[in-house]
Amino acid sequence: MDVISVIRTKRDKGELSPEQIDWVIDAYTRGVVADEQMSALAMAILLNGMNRTEIARWTAAMIASGERMNFDALSRPTADKHSTGGVGDKITLPLAPLVAACGAAVPQLSGRGLGHTGGTLDKLESIPGWRALLSNEEMLHVLDTTGAVICAAGDGLAPADKKLYALRDVTGTVEAIPLIASSIMSKKIAEGTGSLVLDVKVGTGAFMKNIEDARELARTMVGLGTDSGVKTVALLTDMSTPLGLTAGNALEVRESVEVLAGGGPKDVVDLTIALAAEMLAAAGIKDADPAKALADGSAMDVWRRMIAAQGGDPDATLPVAREQHVVTAPSTGVLTRLDAYDIGIAAWRLGAGRARKEDPVQAGAGVELHAKPGDTVTAGQPLLTLHTDTPEKFDYALKSLSEAWDIAPEGTAFTPNPIVLDRIA
């Protein structure tokens, strides 16, 4: 078998055979298929799609490229959550310790930024000393002693996805539904969690721009999980506006700690509690009150133990970008739109994301929001603050913000989108 034939099959809108899929995933993992060849295949998949049989086989081949974990020795039921990616989406940070405080074990394997969306591991690495890379033994120890762990998938867990994940980020193929579904579900099934809640983002700042595509992705992933014996539920959530008031690594960690301290923006709190309720229900834990665990400090206690167990200092001062630039409101009125995609691109251009898979990210870079849709703003008041260590990036970031908001006349009625748009199980 050869990779050119596999690429041509999908380029010409054919169906990849099980043998072709098994071979190309294995060959890519071993380095027989080059990055540029897998890039071509990924683009063909983006353009021409895959059917349910192909997606299931692709996912199975990704799982088979590595090991599978098992949490049967834990005394708690396991529940995990995965987001398809958004702007300002720091939900994993308060969610994992919150669900652990309510009685579940949360083995949260997370990733790095993809395109304009932030990565959970990039955010947490802004905490001095914190380690994303844990051995399986270390991961199980943190999980057993604290109730939650957020870490990178080990080299042995779906290694094919680890290579392809980074490649998709820099080749314009992130949005391919088959590749999103197989990437997420291969790691989650191999991880061995008993239940999984999917946060499928919908809107300009998400990879799924419309609700029909989001439902297709959600149904695909729920089907893959259910067929593999993982109780899987998906929430479709709004990503037309950034979540919270920050987009960037250290900026989002600060905001997450505010949520764990009982404060924080309402949209972040509401979504965290909604996802926690789904995770606890999927794990079979009844009568737990996530809102109470946020208010009484028990979730914060788990957060501090979890960060310390992975080498981080929960009391350390977080990095701050060396330079700031304030963007002011051009007129007085009601802010009716603040585009998540434009904000995400600005944060990425300021240094919060990557242009190449080997690029570092700036811990302090990002965008701080001073108003959200529905707020009344006055001409000249701060609307956004841009943060970066490299001020020459400001002009490039500002170009992405030229049409990022709408301001309507004072008194204009505004109805925000609900944070949860649909549920698929």
For residue range 2-47, list pLDDT tens digits in order. Answer: 999 999 999 999 999 999 999 999 999 999 999 999 999 999 999 9
Phi and psi torsions of 156, nearest 5°: -85, -10
Q: Is residue 219 one of the residues assigned to a domain?
A: yes
Residue with tokens 């996805």: 161
How confident is the model over 260-266, as a mean pLDDT? 96
Which token pair is 109?
A: 């394997």
Residue with tokens 């989650």: 188
CB atoms within 10 A of CB 103: 18
How confident is the model over 100-105, as a mean pLDDT? 98
Tell which residue, 59, 96, 83, has the closest CA to residue 214: 83
Q: Is residue 127 one of the residues assigned to a domain?
A: yes
Q: Are residues 20 and 88 in the same domain?
A: no
Name the residues annotated as catalytic. Answer: 82, 161, 168, 183, 187
Cα 251 from chain centre: 16
Q: What is the DSSP code (8-state) at residue 417?
A: P
Looking at the 3D structure of the chain, how many domains does it have? Answer: 3
Q: Are residues 255 and 379 in the same domain?
A: no
Rounded to 5 degrees, what angle do the CA atoms 129, 186, 424 make?
105
For residue 10, give its domain range.
3-49
Tell which residue, 132, 168, 163, 139, has the closest CA to residue 61: 163
Q: Is residue 318 one of the residues assigned to a domain?
A: no
Q: What is the pLDDT of residue 166?
A: 83
Q: Are residues 283 and 381 in the same domain?
A: no
Q: Is residue 125 one of the residues assigned to a domain?
A: yes
Cα 195 from chain centre: 18
Q: Is residue 273 one of the residues assigned to a domain?
A: yes
Q: Are residues 351 and 301 in the same domain?
A: no
pTM of model > 0.75: yes
Stretch among 76-90, 226-240, 350-364, 389-403 having the lowest mean pLDDT:
350-364
Q: Is residue 71 one of the residues assigned to a domain?
A: no
Rg (CA), the chain: 21
Residue with tokens 């020459």: 392
Confidence of residue 357 (pLDDT cuts 50, 70, 90): low
CATH of the domain at 14: 1.20.970.10
Q: Are residues 231 and 283 in the same domain?
A: yes
Distance CA 328, CA 41 (A): 44
Confidence of residue 358 (pLDDT cuts 50, 70, 90): confident
Q: What is the pLDDT of residue 206?
A: 92
Distance CA 38, CA 67 (A): 22
Instruction: Summarize pLDDT for 168-222 with one digit per residue, the tens.
Output: 978 989 889 899 899 989 989 998 999 999 999 999 999 899 999 999 999 999 9
Q: Are residues 102 and 196 in the same domain?
A: yes
Q: Are residues 251 and 367 in the same domain?
A: no
Q: Are residues 205 and 349 in the same domain?
A: no
Type of residue at 397: A
Q: Are residues 303 and 376 in the same domain?
A: no
CATH of the domain at 302: 3.40.1030.10
Q: Are residues 24 and 114 in the same domain?
A: no
Q: Are residues 35 and 84 in the same domain?
A: no
Q: Are residues 213 and 274 in the same domain?
A: yes
Type of residue at 388: T
- Residue 148 to residues 89, 151, 260, 333, 397: CA-CA distances in angstroms? 19, 10, 15, 44, 36
Stretch among 22-26, 251-255, 351-355 having the lowest mean pLDDT:
351-355
Q: Is residue 414 one of the residues assigned to a domain?
A: no
Q: Is residue 225 one of the residues assigned to a domain?
A: yes
CA atoms within 13 A on the CB side of 289: 6
CATH of the domain at 385: 3.90.1170.30
Which token pair is 347?
A: 């944060």
Residue with tokens 């990178």: 152
Residue 114 has pLDDT above 80, yes or no: no
Cα 309 from chain centre: 22
Stretch among 16-20, 114-118, 292-296, 394-398 having the lowest mean pLDDT:
114-118
